[in-house]
Structure 1
Amino acid sequence: MRTITLANGETVEVECLSCALVDGLIEPEGGVVVETAHFHAHQDVAYPIPGLIILASKRHLKSLDELTEAERLDYITILSEIRKAQRDVLGIESVYYFYNEDTTHHFHTWMVPRYEWMYELGRSVESVRPVLLHARNEMNDEANLKSVRQAISALTEELKR
């Protein structure tokens, strides 16, 4: 079991975070943004930044080269659609994408938007961790959580079209 700290500071014990999310045992803030045959997209459960999306495989695998041809096509298609929706409905002009193979659960990509306020914490990829920690520790107020839920709703509606 792993202990996961959610954006609101609560902790949950899970074997596999992605399985818990896909199976509905943990409800991501605002619900599922979009789901395909092979992937599940949701607002990151740990960091309350509007538009910070996690795109995770539904099956257990760790690496891009383990995706089947159908999964690869599904992955790039939904990743592109989410990115377009981030730009079109949230006005997000820049995104950092992170995917790592030392994860303890499913293959997933973080789509971390860059907002103007983040530049106070740095301008490069090295600023991402301080940005995430700032969001978790300083942005858990109701006003920000409301903007996170609004962003989730806007993305979800756009992706249904």
Structure 2
Amino acid sequence: MPRHIILADGRTVEVDCLSCALTSGLITPTGGVIYESNHFHLWMVPRYEWMGQFGKSVESLRPVLLHARNQLNDEENMKKVIEGINELREGLRDFVSRTE
């Protein structure tokens, strides 16, 4: 059964599986694809001091992401996220080119 999911950039999508929709190209993620790795997904979530109120386990990830989307989703923070994505993309390109 499809679910309505609000992405970080405010888009709402209706999909059965978000990961499947992303990997199939049905949805383009905010910031684009960093590196195609044969159905391998790397989720990077930095750990900031404010996140401690939600706990430190993997179960805290959902409330942290909801809080970030609802309270911190502004132009300045989105710019920082896109910059981080671009830095990671470039770093992985450099790493892959050195290992080939």
Normalising by the smaller structure, the TM-score range is 0.7 to 0.9
Kindly, what percent of the aligned residue pairs are identical?
60
Distance 1:130 1:40, change over 3 A: closer
Question: Match of 1:33, as an amino acid?
Answer: I
Q: Residue in 2 aligned with 1:124?
A: 56
Question: Match of 2:70, as an amino acid?
Answer: N
Query: Is 2:34 the partner of 1:33?
Result: yes
Query: Is 2:81 the partner of 1:148?
Result: yes
| More helix per residue | 2
Q: Residue in 2 aligned with 1:135?
A: 68
| More strand per residue | 1
Cα RMSD between the aligned structures? 2.1
Distance 1:4 1:129, change over 3 A: closer
Map 1:1-161 onto structure 2 (within 5 A). 1-41=2-42, 53=43, 111-119=44-52, 121-125=53-57, 127-161=60-94
Distance 2:55 2:16 in 1: 35
Q: Residue in 1 aligned with 2:97?
A: none
Shift of 1:122: 4.6
Distance 1:140 1:6 in 2: 11
- Give ranges in structure 2 of 5+ residues lacking alignment: 95-100
Shift of 1:23: 2.0
Question: Any conservation in 2 of the 1:5–1:11 contact (CA below 8 Å)?
Answer: yes
The count of aligned residue pairs is 92
- Give ranges in structure 1 of 5+ residues lacking alignment: 42-52, 54-110
Distance 1:23 1:115, change over 3 A: same
Distance 2:55 2:20 in 1: 34
Task: Give the TM-score taking structure 2 as reference length.
Answer: 0.74
Question: Match of 1:142, as an amino acid?
Answer: E
Distance 1:127 1:16 in 2: 21
